[in-house]
Amino acid sequence: EDQVTQSPEALRLQEGESSSLNCSYTVSGLRGLFWYRQDPGKGPEFLFTLYSAGEEKEKERLKATLTKKESFLHITAPKPEDSATYLCAVRFQKLVFGTGTRLLVSP
């Protein structure tokens, strides 16, 4: 069964304290890995798409990387406004979502 696992479930950082979120998956014909940001009470908002191992994408303080079995979302010098739940999804025949990492950045 195709599965997507995100870790940690929750992460608390001080402002400026860099860290990484992990998304691992079992492969059965990967056709793209996606990262989304979700704020409370809102729908997920697209961040990145990664298609092949070795690929990297950056946006402001976020950088997503992909290997054959996992992806990392690196957050450099985070700010309180980066606090959100970060969802990873992998497309096999349909999108399969992880349970997310709740990130809280304190000033």
DSSP 5-74: EEE-SEEEEETT--EEEEEEE--SS---EEEEEE-TTS--EEEEEE-STT-EEEETTEEEEE-SSEEEEE
Which residues, 57 to 96, sit near other proteins by CB under 8 A?
A: 87, 89, 91, 94-96
Minimum CB separation from other proteins for residue 41, in Å?
7
Q: Enter the tokens of residue 41.
A: 């009470």
CB of 80 to other proteins, least distance (A): 22
Q: Per CB under 8 A, does 101 bind other proteins?
A: no
Asked if residue 4 binds other proteins (CB under 8 A), the reply is: yes
- 45 contributes a contact to other proteins by CB under 8 A: yes
